[in-house]
Amino acid sequence: MGQSYTASVKQNPGRKAWLVEFRHPLKNDSENRPGKKMRKGLGAIDEVEARRLGDQLNDLLKSKSLWSLGARAEALKRYDEKVVEIFYGEIEPRVGSALDLRDKLLPLPGRGEGYARILFLGVPGAGKTTLVRQLIGTNPNTERFPSTSVNRTTTFPTEIALKEGDFEAVVSFMSEHETRFEVEEALSASIVEGVEHDAVHVARSFLERTDMRFRLKYLLGDYLTVDEAVDPYEDEDLEKSDTPDEAIRVSDAEHLLLQSTLNAYIARIMEIASDQRGVLEAEQGKLADMSAEDRNAALDLIEEQAQASDQFLELVSDILDELRSKFEGVTTGRFEKTTTGWPRAWYYSAAPSDRAAFLSAVRCFSGISYQAWGKLLTPLVTGLRTVGPFAPIWAQEPARLVLIDTEGLGHKANTTADLPDNTLLQLNAADVILLVDSAQNGMANFSTGKAIEAVVNAGHTRKLAVVFTHMDSVKGDNLRGQAKIDHVFGGIRNIAENQLAKNVSSNAARYLIEHLETKTYYVGCIDVLDPKPAIPELNKLLGHLASAQPVVITPVAFPEYSQDNLVLAIQEAARDFRQQWQGILGMAPHPDYRPKPWQTIKALSRRYAEGWDDGFVLRPTSNLVTALSSAVSRFLETPLSWNGNPTPEQKRETMDCIKTSVANQLDRLSNYRLREQPQPAWLEAYALRGPGSTYDRRLRIENIYERWVPIPDARGDRLVADFLTQIKKVVMDAIQQVAEQVRVQHQPPADESEAS
């Protein structure tokens, strides 16, 4: 007889909301058996309603015929929407788009209305967001929007449209499931930390993940010790300018309550870690006496057993309740919520005269001030969109712009500097790709060079413009006037001549330099409201952005290629990807890629097993897109011949057109080969437990890559043939589309052909 599943309804002590606890028949537990224990919130309802929903869930758990996504429609006919969401939300693919939600609630003005879309790229601290402030005219001292910091501030896309009329804003949030996932990851990491370290180390691991994105300290407050050190370099003026609005400033009484709650969480984490260590050492001996491999396996087991414990489940539930309560502090605007009450989005509007109140309301979702830690909702935000009468105070002419500020390049200190999937997709939608870098750095950051290479490989060189900030800090006896400009522009030449010429082609490198000689801007002092020295250059930049139009290419000739050479390019891409990951997995030595820790590899397997996006330090799909686009770009740079007599400029435009078409398909193909098809194999890799599982998991992941990204060789193999066929079709179809455009363009009108 199969296992039976039941749900129980309960209420956490001191909480208004009710929750339901059950084992999910379609989710595997830590031992890879069906029946993972779940706790899901029902919202702030009365006991009678909670019991009614619990009875419905119990009925669903008894009805095996409804245990599939295909049965969701039938379940909706029988049960409350909350019950259906609780059950099916756990097994649905993670394909919900925060962008689609923002588009629904507050569409951005488009090209048809004369608006140019500007995509900002740059490493953290380059001045990307400071430049956005200048373009929208917000006061850096009194308005402080968007937030800036040297400490990797922008962790979600911020979209700002300069449009007359009322101010409007939409903020999209992580789903309850996504938030639980992040909380579980933070707790797991802090429990492993607590096995051998003190509460200070545990709190640090819990409150701020190494990727500096999901910062729980913004939501729960910081963990303070008695001997908290004084910063001798603290800037009093900066601290004063960063003072948050009274509405979100944490009072002394609130601070004490936050500290009490957080201290209780840390104590519970320490208790779980201590208990699990005690159980393991009683069975396997002291951790200190184990070999490195055995110790890793032991820590893995401790993490696994902790996640399966009731204490862990209860702690996750309590923290989620606490995070949910943070939304109650927002008294402006309106929330759009799920059936269980978790906010999906927030909308707010204000008259132009209420600008201060509008920015104050928005700052709760984008702020970073330490004086507001405990009230900020920033870590839960997946996107912020504002539309309103923003304008630079120095502008000579109004501009219709949509500015899109992105997460800093290399924000997560990734193993590679490849652009994330979502950024690659944004390149195609942009009219201008604005790369911002500090003149002090001279484009020395590896991520900056990789971003330029990605833009070129995707065929978007004509969209690229560069802004160098901090020109006021570039000083030297030999750096004045044009000499300073030439010195700073040398960073671009360095990337073009030493990276692009090698990795793409010398022709592409020359074209980039020629293009950017007139599309590079040099500014300084832009961190102040009225940057007088920079105003002439800022107006030049604004004119370029405002006049940007979609790139339209009408090919007059088409290139001819050898498919044999394309096979060699695909072979090169597959080899590059596989060797990179063999180094990351520790399966083979690599000069540039070192093995990642077992915890990171395990976290990757979980993310791909459960269908999460590439917002992680390891991003296989992004790596495959980069490897393929780079190799295909080099292939496209060297056609055998041209049909027709195009000029060098026309040749470049045609090749870029083909590259763009190819790049738009590679993301879908990479997701298909590394996510959709091998998902059962990712589940198996994540489910591995016990001694030897660290190595076995790495081997399973390498087997996934061997199966889905095979390196073509002389041997006949169906897997290789399928891989080659898919990529060749993408590339050759793009080439054929250009050829067809040329034929249509040169085809005589119908009446002329009939007369002849």
User: Maximum distance among all alpha carbons in the chain?
Assistant: 96
CA distance linking residue 565 with residue 588, whole number of Å: 28
Contact present, 458 and 138 (Cβ < 8 Å): no
Pairing of strands 520-522, 158-162: unpaired
Considering the chain, what is the average pLDDT of its residues? 88
Comparing C-alpha atoms, which of 401, 402, 431 is closest to residue 551? 431
Among the listed ranges 103-107, 422-426, 430-434, which one has the minimum average pLDDT value? 422-426
Q: What share of the chain is helix, strand, coil (3-state, %, to 5)?
A: 55, 10, 35
With cut-offs at 50, 70 and 90, classify the pLDDT of residue 524. Answer: very high
744 or 238, which is more confident: 744
Residue 733 has pLDDT above 50, yes or no: yes
CA distance linking residue 507 with residue 634, whole number of Å: 11
CA distance linking residue 265 with residue 271, whole number of Å: 10
With cut-offs at 50, 70 and 90, classify the pLDDT of residue 243. Answer: low
DSSP state letters, 41-89: EEES--HHHHHHHHHHHHHHHH-GGG-SGGGHHHHHHHS-HHHHHHHHT
With cut-offs at 50, 70 and 90, classify the pLDDT of residue 292. Answer: confident
Q: For residue range 560-572, what is the model confidence (pLDDT) as tens digits?
A: 999 999 999 999 9
Contact present, 442 and 474 (Cβ < 8 Å): no
Which residue ranges make up each domain of the chain? 7-88, 177-328, 558-750
CA distance linking residue 664 with residue 657, whole number of Å: 11
Q: Determine phi and psi for 18, rounding to 5 degrees.
A: -100, 160
CA distance linking residue 12 with residue 43, whole number of Å: 12
CA distance linking residue 475 with residue 479, whole number of Å: 6
- How many beta carbons lie within 10 A of that of residue 149, not counting itself? 13
Residue 715 has pLDDT above 90, yes or no: no
CA 63 vs CA 4, 28, 66, 387, 428: distances in Å: 10, 19, 6, 48, 47
List the beta bridge partners of residue 522.
468
Q: Say what the pTM is.
A: 0.89
With cut-offs at 50, 70 and 90, classify the pLDDT of residue 239. Answer: very low
Residue 171 has pLDDT above 60, yes or no: yes
Contact present, 183 and 41 (Cβ < 8 Å): no
Comparing C-alpha atoms, which of 16, 68, 23, 64 is closest to residue 42? 16
With cut-offs at 50, 70 and 90, classify the pLDDT of residue 747. Answer: low
CA distance linking residue 317 with residue 564, whole number of Å: 57
Return contacts of 324-328, CB within 8 angstroms, 24+ apart.
324/17, 324/41, 326/219, 326/375, 326/377, 327/377
Q: For residue range 303-362, what is the model confidence (pLDDT) as tens digits?
A: 989 988 989 999 998 999 899 999 999 999 999 998 888 999 999 999 999 999 999 999
CA distance linking residue 87 with residue 237, whole number of Å: 52
- How many beta carbons lie within 10 A of that of residue 596, not counting itself? 18
Q: Can you give the pLDDT at residue 655?
A: 94
Identify the three-state secondary structure at position 417. coil
- What percent of the chain lies above the pLDDT cut of 90? 63
What integer is the mean pLDDT of 256-267?
Answer: 95
Residue 488 has pLDDT above 90, yes or no: yes
CA distance linking residue 418 with residue 625, whole number of Å: 9
- Token pair for residue 279? 């159980």
Comparing C-alpha atoms, which of 7, 10, 2, 1 is closest to residue 61? 7
Q: Can you give the pLDDT at residue 36?
A: 86
Pairing of strands 343-350, 464-469: unpaired
Q: Can you give the pLDDT at residue 155?
A: 75
Residue 404 has pLDDT above 90, yes or no: yes
Name the DSSP class of 408.
Answer: P
Close Cβ partners of 45 (under 8 Å, ≥ 6 residues apart): 17, 18, 53
Among the listed ranges 193-207, 405-419, 492-506, which one has the minimum average pLDDT value? 405-419
